[in-house]
Amino acid sequence: MIVTEKLERLKALFAEMQQALIAYSGGVDSTLVAKIAYDVLGDRALAVTAVSPSLLPEELSDAKNQAAIIGIRHQVVETQEMENPNYTSNPVNRCYFCKSELHDTLKPLGISLGYPYVIDGVNADDLHDYRPGIQAAKERGARSPLAEVGVTKAEVRQLSQTLGLPWWDKPAQPCLSSRFPYGEEITVNKLQRVGRAEIYLRKLGWQNLRVRSEGDTARIELPPEKITDFVLTTDLPTVVKVFQEFGFIYVTLDLEGYRSGKLNQVLTNAAVSNPS
Give the confidence band of 271 by pLDDT, cuts at 50, 70, 90.
very low
Give the confidence band of 270 by pLDDT, cuts at 50, 70, 90.
very low
DSSP character string of the chain? --HHHHHHHHHHHHHHHSSEEEE--SSHHHHHHHHHHHHHHGGGEEEEEEE-TTS-HHHHHHHHHHHHHHT-EEEEEE--GGG-HHHHT--TTHHHHHHHHHHHHHHHHHHHHT---EE----GGGGGS--HHHHHHHHTT-B-HHHHHT--HHHHHHHHHHTT-TTTTPPP---GGGGS-TTSPP-HHHHHHHHHHHHHHHHTT--S-EEEEETTEEEEE--GGGHHHHHHHS-HHHHHHHHHHHT-SEEEE-TT---TTGGGHHHHHHHHHS--
Q: Domains (ranges, CATH) in the chain?
A: 3-162 (3.40.50.620), 176-265 (3.30.300)
> What's the pLDDT tens digit per position in 137-188?
999 999 999 999 999 999 999 999 999 999 999 888 888 999 999 999 999 9
Summary mean pLDDT of the chain: 92
- Nearest partner of 121 among 29, 49, 51, 32, judged by Cα: 29
Q: Write down the pLDDT at residue 173.
A: 83
Q: Write down the pLDDT at residue 174.
A: 84
In this structure, the strands spanning 217-221 and 250-253 are parallel
pTM, rounded to two decimals: 0.89
267 pLDDT higher than 70 = no
> What's the pLDDT tens digit per position in 85-126?
999 999 999 999 999 999 999 999 999 999 988 999 999 999
In this structure, the strands spanning 45-51 and 73-78 are parallel
Q: Write down the pLDDT at residue 90.
A: 97
263 pLDDT higher than 90 = no
Give the confidence band of 275 by pLDDT, cuts at 50, 70, 90.
very low
